[in-house]
Amino acid sequence: MIVKEAIYHLPKSNFAYAYDKTTLHLRIRTKKNDIEEVWLKIGDPYEWESGGLDGGNLNGSDAKGWSGSVEISMQKELSTDYFDYWFCEYKPLKKRSRYAFILKNSTEKILFGEKRIEELTGNESDEEKLSNISNFFSFPYLNAKDVLDVPEWAKNTIWYQIFPERFCNGKESISPKNVKEWGENPTHDNFMGGDLYGIYEKLDYLEELGITGIYLCPIFMGNTNHKYDTIDYYKIDPHFGDEVIFKKLVEKAHQKGIKIMLDAVFNHVGDEFTLWKDVVKNGSASKYADWFVINKFPLFDLDGSKNYETFANVKEMPKLNLENKDCRKYILDVATYWIKEFDIDGWRLDVCNEIDHKFWREFREEVKSIKQEFYILGEIWHDSLPWLMGDQFDAVMNYPISDAIINFLTSKKLDAKRFEAEINKAIVAYPKNITEVNFNLLDSHDTARVLTVLKDDKRKLKLALLLLFFQSGSPCIYYGTEIGMNGDKYSGCEENRKCMIWDDANQDKELFNFLKILIKIRKDYKEFQDVFIEWKLDEDKNILVMKKETVFLIINLDEILNKTLKVNTYTSNDRIQNLINGIVYSTEEISLEAQEFLLLKNINL
């Protein structure tokens, strides 16, 4: 019997959406290994041999012979722990679609509709069930405006995240008076003097590595080294530089084919923000009192407890009330100002899930009206589908991918089945358009550095980078990863934000060159942009194979034993090239060390 409770589909979601102006993508979930075949019955609801639908009979109760429908075989897209996912695409000739799913296994055949499940028995009653579109799902019209329109350039951008205060000190004269010596132990409140001049100087370095996008943590005026406590949204922090050097930075980056994305801290401000200071001074009489989320006045009780909302519990970061129309307009003006005046290419939206959806819809309309190919990236650590249906963000920081890779590489034994399930969950979580431009990362200013998490095992770091680059979307490197920087992150420890190492003698050049090669491979071979991965686990040999078209990755999962294998076991091609070192193999055996990998591509004779 088919396990009907496991079947799931939802229109206008990651299960049914407009991929482009002519194409629908449709997906259905079933219990793992329960269904053998799935067919999509779909068509124009207004085409019938007799009778049909009209304005007063949208369920077609008198319609006979649905001539506008077709049946399309759905392919098993992928599997997770408990479910299989089936996928197909359909191009509705007249934009309108009604549809249902026909599911079959060795014992049963059913029609899965919007209202109920019908048994299909092979007799005359089946035709009535297959034509009763009152039980069919509806995609009323494929409107071009509803297509998930994301920036094409983001599909293969190689991002590099910079924490400006710790990257490079290019102009010592603007450093804070209490600046520490470069490389001193980082703390929550000390300063090292990194600035925009330093980033400008190192653009050649980033170009050599192959970077095509820079994500800058906040550069606006703030009291702290991290600048997430904005004082003035229209002024660059004077310890970083000014608008002149920033404009030069953007222009030079663009000349090198590098996009610039700024951090947008629109959920809260710092306690030195001018309008907040007015509220502190004048209380409820301040004309800006409703610009903030204040529970009651006075702002502080006698015991010192606060009566206003903040970021987390940080009293120095009062939360903006973006439901106030004036506050809303102010922030939207900020967002568009930096695009119009400095030609930035993206905003990374800090704590964006605590701001209402209506604001983000307005935000998208505003920024896209100025620069259609602008990239809108949300900082959300959990499932983010409500923000990713084309009317708000283009992408989110894809922490589920980083969690999957890190958990895979830090487990006692590399658990390939678990890893496959977690990666596949991330793939089906969103429409394909989103997955193609999602922001994939291993670490950031908010986490321990990946090398520390991997216990300083650079062999595993290389594999982590390779697994990151194997995913569809835009991979991001946190500054210093390319030269082997480590650093922990926990309460009272900010080693993950330590100064970039510029002394050649202390940089891991071999790791730098490995990543440089990996970035070039990623750019050269379009296969890496493909969303879906074909998985094969050879449990006897403990070998995992991940394949995308003609490119495949082989990993020896064993912690101790080397493995000897013939690479043409995993492909029908006689000639295979190692993309890392260029070596071409045919039928010879290759020794693969414990937890080592090969990145290979089929090549023509």
Grouping H, G, I as helix, E, B as strand and the rest as coil, residue 138 is: strand
CA distance 242 to 237: 7
Which of the residues 77, 118, 345, 379 is marked catalytic?
Answer: 379
CA distance 253 to 201: 11
Question: Residue 274 corresponds to which tokens in the numbers above?
Answer: 């001018």
Grouping H, G, I as helix, E, B as strand and the rest as coil, residue 130 is: helix
Q: At what angle do helices 399-410 and 416-428 cross, to 10 degrees?
A: 180
* 162 close to 217: Cβ distance less than 8 angstroms: yes
- What is the distance in angstroms between the CA of the first residue and the CA of the last residue of the chain? 49
Q: What DSSP assignment string belongs to 510-567?
A: HHHHHHHHHHHHHHH-GGGG-S--EEEEETTTTEEEEEETTEEEEEE--SS--EEEEG
* 75 close to 86: Cβ distance less than 8 angstroms: yes
Pairing of strands 159-162, 474-478: parallel
Alpha helices in 416-542 (DSSP H): 416-428, 432-435, 450-453, 458-469, 509-524
CA distance 63 to 280: 69
Which helix (H) or strand (E) covers residue 119, if one does? strand 117-119
Question: Residue 116 corresponds to which tokens in the numbers above?
Answer: 């109920």
The candidate with the shortest Cα–Cα distance to 387, out of 399, 374, 397, is 397
In the DSSP assignment, the letter for residue 50 is: B
Q: What DSSP assignment string belongs to 467-485?
A: HHHTSSSEEEEETTGGGT-
* 605 close to 587: Cβ distance less than 8 angstroms: no
Which of the residues 77, 350, 494, 558 is marked catalytic?
Answer: 350
Asked about 379 being catalytic, the answer comes back as yes
The catalytic residue positions are 350, 379
